[in-house]
Amino acid sequence: MSDTPAIQLVGLRKSFGAGEHEVVAVDSVDLTIDDGEFFSLLGPSGSGKTTVLRMIAGFELPTAGAILLQGHDVTRQAPYDRDVNTVFQDYALFPHMTVLENIEYGLKVKKVGRHERRRRAAEMLDSVRLGNYGHRKPSQLSGGQRQRVALARALVNRPKVLLLDEPLGALDLKLREEMQVELKAIQREVGITFVFVTHDQGEALSMSNRIAVFNLGRIEQVGTPREIYDHPETSFVAGFVGTSNVLSAALSHELMGVAGVHSVRPERIRVVQEHTAESEVTVAGVVTDVQYLGADSRIRVELADGSPLLANVPSDGLVGVAIGGPIRLAWSRFAAFAVADTVPLHDIHEHDIHEHDIPQQHQQHDIIHSQGGDQ
Ligand code: ATP
C-alpha cells in the first residue's frame, strides 16, 4: 500500500448547460481517498455522486478543479489512459461471449498472450467464487453471478482504482446483502482502492472504510461509518444517515441550555417515570403513535410546544405507554450533538427514497425536525 493518496479531488466543479439553464452538479469538492480504501460516495438522487465518479473515470470533464490519481494530474487525460476501471449498474457484459471470454476481453485488448490471459481470467473467476461457471453465457447466470462477472472483468487487469456506480442496485434485497459481504471480502483480498457510489446509507455504513456524504453537489461530511453515524456534523447528515431528531436552537436551549441546533438519535432516548440524574435531559410529552417492530418499538411523541420527538425503545419497556397518554423521555447530554442546520430534509423524501431499494431496517429515513420556535 502506498502513502500517496489513490485519488485527490481539488476544488472540483461541474456544471451542465449555460445561463438560466445552468445546473451545478458538483460544487467545490475537495477529497482525498487513500490507497486501498473502500470509499463510498453517499447521497440522495441528484446530489452529484455519479458526476464525481464519471469525472474520476474521465467520462466527464470538470468545469473547474483538478483530479490526481496516485499523485499525477489526470484532469485532461482520456479515460483509457487512466489506471481506473468502472463497474456499472447494468454490468454491460458481452452476451455472445462466455463468462471466461468476457473476463479475458480487457487483457486481449492489451495484447496479453493467450495462456497468460486464460490463467489470469481463471484466477479472477475463482476470487469472485465462480470457478465452475467460465463456460456459461451471461444469460445463463443469475443477477448476482452476472454482477460478480462484471467485477472480475473490471479487476482482471488490476487497475489501481475500481469505480462502482450503484453496482448492487438491480439486485433483490437478499442477494444485495450477500453481495455487500462478498464485495467487501473481495476488496480486502485484492487490496485495490474501491470508490463506491450509493444512495443507500445501510450499504455505505456496512461496507466502507470511509464515506463522503453528498448534498446538492457538495460534500457535507467525510468520515468513518461510525463518525458519520455517531457524530453527524450537519442536520442533513443526521437525517440522511439513519434517523435523527433534530432539535431547533430554541428547543435545544430550553431543554439542554445549549446554543444551536442539536441532533439526538432515537435509540439514545429512554422512557422514564420521573426526573433522572443531572447529566440527563428529561422532557414530557404526549404519545402520538407506537410502532411495534419486534424487539424494539418506535414511539412518536409530541412535546408541549408541538415539536415531534422519536424514541426507539425496547418493547418490554412499554408498560403504561399508550397512544394519547402522557410520557416522559430522557437522554444523556452526551447523546446530543450540535449540528450545522443545512437541511431542508423533506426534499430527501420527495426525490430520493426508493423503498424497494432499501433494506427493511433502513426504511426509516425520516428526520424529526422539531419546529420549536425559531425555524
Ligand atoms: P443518482 O443517484 O440519481 O444517480 P447522483 O447523486 O449520482 O444521482 P448526478 O447524476 O451526479 O447525481 O447528477 C447531479 C445533478 O446534475 C442532477 O441535478 C442531474 O440532473 C444533473 N446532471 C447530471 N448529468 C447531466 C447532464 N449530462 N446534463 C444536464 N444535467 C445533468
**pLDDT in the model for residue 275:** 62
CA distance 158 to 116: 14
- Which CATH number do you get for residue 140? 3.40.50.300
Within this chain, do residues 271 and 365 fall inside the same structural domain, yes or no?
yes
Within this chain, do residues 225 and 309 fall inside the same structural domain, yes or no?
no
- Domain annotation covers residue 307: yes
Handedness of CA 311, 243, 262, 333 (dihedral sign): positive
Percentages helix, strand, coil for the chain (3-state, rounded to 5) are 35, 30, 35
Which residue's CA is the nearest one to ligand 1's atom 11? 48
Question: How many Cα atoms within 13 Å fall on the side-chain side of residue 44?
Answer: 22
Helix spans in 296-375 (H):
346-351
CA distance 162 to 158: 9
Three-class secondary structure of residue 55 per DSSP: helix
Within this chain, do residues 212 and 102 fall inside the same structural domain, yes or no?
yes
Within this chain, do residues 240 and 226 fall inside the same structural domain, yes or no?
no
Question: Residue 194 — φ and ψ, nearest 5°?
Answer: -110, 130
> In what side-by-side order are the strands of the sheet with 38-42?
84-87, 161-165, 193-198, 38-42, 210-215, 218-223
14 lines ligand 1 (CB under 6 A): no
Within this chain, do residues 64 and 211 fall inside the same structural domain, yes or no?
yes
Tens place of pLDDT for every residue, the chain, 375 residues? 678 999 999 999 999 998 888 999 999 999 999 999 999 999 999 999 999 999 999 999 999 999 999 999 999 999 989 999 988 877 678 999 999 999 999 899 888 999 999 999 998 898 888 889 999 999 999 888 888 899 889 888 888 899 999 888 777 787 788 888 888 888 988 889 999 999 999 899 999 999 999 999 999 999 999 999 989 999 899 989 988 898 989 999 999 999 999 999 999 999 988 766 677 899 999 999 999 999 999 999 999 989 999 999 999 888 888 999 999 999 999 899 999 988 744 443 333 333 333 333 333 334 455 544 333
16 lines ligand 1 (CB under 6 A): yes
- Domain annotation covers residue 225: yes
45 lines ligand 1 (CB under 6 A): yes
Which range of residues forms the domain containing residue 348? 235-369
Within this chain, do residues 301 and 175 fall inside the same structural domain, yes or no?
no
Of the candidates 345, 342, 354, the one whose C-alpha atom is nearest the C-alpha of residue 200 is: 354
22 lines ligand 1 (CB under 6 A): no
- Which CATH number do you get for residue 239? 2.40.50.100
CA distance 272 to 284: 10
Q: Best mutation site among 49, 197, 218, 220 for ligand 1, i.e. most ligand atoms within 8 A of its Cβ?
A: 49
Which pTM does this prediction carry? 0.83
Do the Cβ atoms of 326 and 286 come closer than 8 Å? yes
Within this chain, do residues 87 and 204 fall inside the same structural domain, yes or no?
yes
Do the Cβ atoms of 301 and 309 come closer than 8 Å? yes
**pLDDT in the model for residue 239:** 86
362 lines ligand 1 (CB under 6 A): no
Q: Cell numbers 470457478 label which residue?
A: 131
From start to end of 138-234, where are the E strands? 161-165, 193-198, 210-215, 218-223
Residue 233 grid cell: 456534523
- Domain annotation covers residue 374: no
CA distance 84 to 81: 9
Residue where one domain finishes, among candidates 230, 259, 284: 230
Within this chain, do residues 212 and 84 fall inside the same structural domain, yes or no?
yes
CA distance 346 to 162: 33
> In what side-by-side order are the strands of the sheet with 23-33?
23-33, 7-16, 64-69, 72-73
Within this chain, do residues 159 and 205 fall inside the same structural domain, yes or no?
yes
Within this chain, do residues 44 and 89 fall inside the same structural domain, yes or no?
yes
DSSP class of 25: E
In the chain, the number of structural domains is 2
Question: Residue 244 — φ and ψ, nearest 5°?
Answer: -140, 150
Which residue's CA is the nearest one to ligand 1's atom 17? 46
CA distance 340 to 235: 6
Query: What are 16's strand-pairing partners?
Result: 23
Do the Cβ atoms of 280 and 317 come closer than 8 Å? no
